[in-house]
């Protein structure tokens, strides 16, 4: 849940059966207030591994250049 608007929805989620990660929104206006360093992607993978699931490969593919 990134940002206040998302965190305001926490009551709609069963936190006993769902992993919920929270931080500031990654927008340029608020990223310095908690998003940077919150490690949402590695924490997601840690939660998946703890549940016996495969982690996500978050690496973006190399940029493909197109010939004209």
What pLDDT shows up at residue 19?
95
Question: What is the structure's pLDDT at 21?
Answer: 95
Q: Give pLDDT, residue 63.
A: 78
pLDDT at 5: 94
User: At which residue do the structure tokens 């940029």 appear?
Assistant: 63
Residues in CB range of 52: below 8 A, 6 or more apart:
none
Q: How far apart are CA 33 and CA 31, in angstroms?
A: 5
What gap in Å lies between CA 5 and CA 30, rounded to an integer? 13
Residue 67's pLDDT is 67
Nearest partner of 22 among 64, 32, 63, 5, judged by Cα:
5
The pLDDT, as a whole number, for residue 65 is 72
Q: What is the pLDDT of residue 30?
A: 85
Q: Which residues of the chain have pLDDT under 70?
A: 67-68
């Amino acid at each position: 849940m990134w940002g206040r608007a998302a965190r305001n929805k926490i009551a709609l989620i069963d936190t006993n059966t769902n992993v919920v990660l929270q931080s500031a929104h990654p927008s340029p206006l608020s990223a310095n207030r908690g998003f940077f360093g919150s490690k949402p992607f590695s924490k997601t993978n840690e939660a998946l591994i703890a549940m016996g699931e495969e982690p996500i490969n978050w690496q973006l593919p190399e940029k493909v250049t197109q010939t004209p």
